[in-house]
Amino acid sequence: MLLRICSVILILFAFWLMLSGQFSILLLTLGGFSALLSVAISAQMRLFHGKTQLAKLVWSLPKYWLWLSVQIAKCGLDVALRIVHPKLPIEPSFIKIPVSKSSGLGRTTYANSITLTPGTLAIKIDEENILVHTLTKAAGTDLMSGEMHRKIPLE
Structure confidence by residue, pLDDT tens digits, 67-111: 999 999 999 999 999 999 888 889 999 999 999 866 777 888 899
User: Considering only CA atoms, which of 111, 101, 118 is closest in space to residue 153?
Assistant: 101
| Residue 55: band (very low, low, confident or very high) from pLDDT cuts 50, 70, 90 | low
Neighbours of 129 (CB within 10 A): 14
d(CA 64, CA 69): 8
Q: What angle do CA 50, 51, 56 make, to 5 degrees?
A: 125
Name 29's bridge partners.
none
pLDDT for residue 5 is more than 90: no
Cα–Cα dist 40/72, whole Å: 31
Domain coordinates in residue numbering, the chain: 2-44, 54-151
The pLDDT value recorded for residue 7 is 84
Contacts of 79 (CB under 8 A, 6+ apart): 118, 119, 135
Q: Are 115 and 121 in contact (CB under 8 A)?
A: yes
Strand order of the β-sheet with 129-134 is 93-98, 129-134, 120-125
Q: State residue 105 phi and psi, 5-degree precision.
A: -65, -40
Given a cut of 90, is residue 44 above it in pLDDT? no
CA distance 119 to 91: 11
pLDDT at residue 61 greater than cutoff 60 = yes
Predicted model pTM: 0.70
What CATH code would you report for 54-151?
A: 3.30.70
- pLDDT reported for residue 145: 93
Please count the residues of the chain: 155
Contact 152, 110 (CB under 8 A): yes
In this model, does residue 54 exceed pLDDT 70? no
| pLDDT grade for 130, boundaries at 50, 70 and 90 | very high
> Which amino acid type is present at position 82?
R
Q: Quick one: pLDDT band at residue 131, thresholds 50, 70, 90?
A: very high
